[in-house]
Amino acid sequence: MRAVVQKVSRGQVNVDNKLVASIQRGLVVLLGVSPTDTGQDAQALAEKVANLRIFEDSAGKMNLSCLDVNGEVLVVSQFTLYADTRRGRRPSFTGAAKPDLAEPLCARFVESLYAMGLSVKTGIFGAHMLVDIRNEGPVTILLEQPEPEHPSWNF
Catalytic residues: 78-80
Burial 100-137 (b: 16+ CB within 10 A, else e): ebbebbbbbbbebbeebebebbbbebeeebeeebeebe
Query: How many residues comprise the chain?
Result: 155
Q: Rounded to 10 degrees, what is the CA torsion of 15, 100, 105, 140?
A: -50
Nearby residues of 78 by Cβ (< 8 Å), 6 or more positions away:
4, 30, 31, 32
Greatest extent of the chain over all pairs of C-alpha atoms, in Å:
48
Q: Are 83 and 110 in contact (CB under 8 A)?
A: no
